[in-house]
Amino acid sequence: MTTATDVESQAAELARRLKAFIDESVQAAGGDTAAVRPGHRVKLHWPPHPVSYSYHVLASDWSGHATFAAYGETFHVQVARTPNGVFGRCEAIWNEARGEDLSEMLANLKSSSEPLFARQRAISAALGKEGRFKGQIRDLEPIQLLKLLYCPDRDVANDARVEIESHATSRLFTPALVEILRDERHRYRRSAQWCVLDLFEDLPAFVASRQGAQDAVLAIKDLIWSASDDYARTVYKAGVVLGGHLPETFGGPALLECLDAPSKIGRRSAIHGLFHVVEWIPEMRDTVVKKLRARAQVEPDPLLAQFTRAMAEDIASGAADHTPEPVFPEEEEAA
């Protein structure tokens, strides 16, 4: 029988292994710790619609065989020659293609399989392995799931997030997830942190104590406090999580403190997050409005000063919506 002490020990070891993975990643990057701007999430829909269905290819038509090569592997293909062209089916990767002749069909089959190959190879690379990943994410070990949160393919990272979420109440992942929020070294930390913030929208599922909740909120606060960028909208989301999901779990006070953060990106996130705090805790309205108005008087960034004043008035008036967050000039240039 697994006891609470056993789980705590396993969770601490998992966090230690995550730190070692980050160390190895920094070393592999030649010591470079600058955050990478991750791309948008591109959902992989697989398998694609089988083209043979659209042409009513019969089971008896699949009488031929061929192969194609990709990334050091040979794939066997069932072939059907019909009046509508040549069709190929590769059961190993659940894909089909059509061409006017065998050569064109095989080229189309290989080309249309590239999204799957790219995803499988991205998973393997994130796990430190060669070739393509042929298994299921749900079958991976906990440390492997954590590694996938850092995968450059954000759809892969999201699938790992979903799997981790299904084990939330085990509390096994929680210390490692807090470490991800505190990570300032792995180059793909922003998309990993976004995933953790999404998980911590339901923080009570991941923590068993008030101290555990406070540790998680403090890690989110620190992320906001020193943010040097808002890649993947991670810092923005941090404010939303504290203000919209954890306002009573230390979130509201943490955002008020972040109004004085040295990072203007962090201050922007805090200002926005406070709107959501008041949505959930109306009795904080006067305090929040007073703090925002005072901050507007000393805010050195003109865009943020204007945003702070506007947000204070939106909250004071009980508006259902708020002034949009400003985009800083350097963010427009980098977009």
pLDDT digits (tens, 9 = 90+) for 202-226: 999 999 899 999 999 999 999 999 9
Q: Tens digits of per-residue pLDDT, 243-289?
A: 999 999 899 999 999 999 999 999 999 999 999 999 999 999 999 99
- With respect to residue 135, please indicate whether it lies within any of the assigned structural domains: no
CA dihedral 154, 251, 230, 306 (to 10 degrees): 140
CA distance 330 to 303: 13
Q: Which residues pair with 77 in a beta bridge?
A: 66
Q: How far is CA 18 from CA 11, 22, 97, 122, 133, in A?
A: 11, 6, 41, 19, 21
The pLDDT value given to residue 2: 64
Number of other residues whose CB lies within 10 A of the CB of residue 39? 11
When pLDDT is cut at 50, 70 and 90, the band that residue 129 belongs to is very high
pTM of this prediction?
0.94
In a domain, 73, yes or no: yes
Structural domain contains residue 151: no
User: By the 8 A CB rule, do 134 and 151 touch?
Assistant: no
Report the run of H or E that residue 142 belongs to, with start and end: helix 142-148
324 and 248, same structural domain? yes
Place of tokens 């990943």: 133
List the beta bridge partners of residue 200: none
In this structure, how many other beta carbons lie within 10 angstroms of the beta carbon of residue 99? 16
pLDDT reported for residue 310: 97
Banded model confidence at residue 3, pLDDT cuts 50, 70, 90: confident
- Domain check: are 251 and 302 in the same one? yes
Q: Report residue 333's pLDDT band, with 50, 70 and 90 as the boundaries.
A: low
pLDDT higher than threshold 80 for residue 324? yes
Q: Rounded to an integer, what distance in angstroms lies between the CA atom of residue 187 and that of residue 185?
A: 6
Q: Is residue 45 part of a domain?
A: no
CATH code for position 292: 1.25.10
Q: Per-residue pLDDT for 5 more than 80?
A: yes
Range of the domain at 104: 51-111
Together in a domain, 26 and 61: no
Tell me: do 305 and 209 sit in the same domain.
yes
133 within domain boundaries: no
Q: What is the mean pLDDT of the chain?
A: 96
Q: How many residues does the chain have?
A: 335
Cα–Cα distance, 149 to 87 (Å, whole number): 38
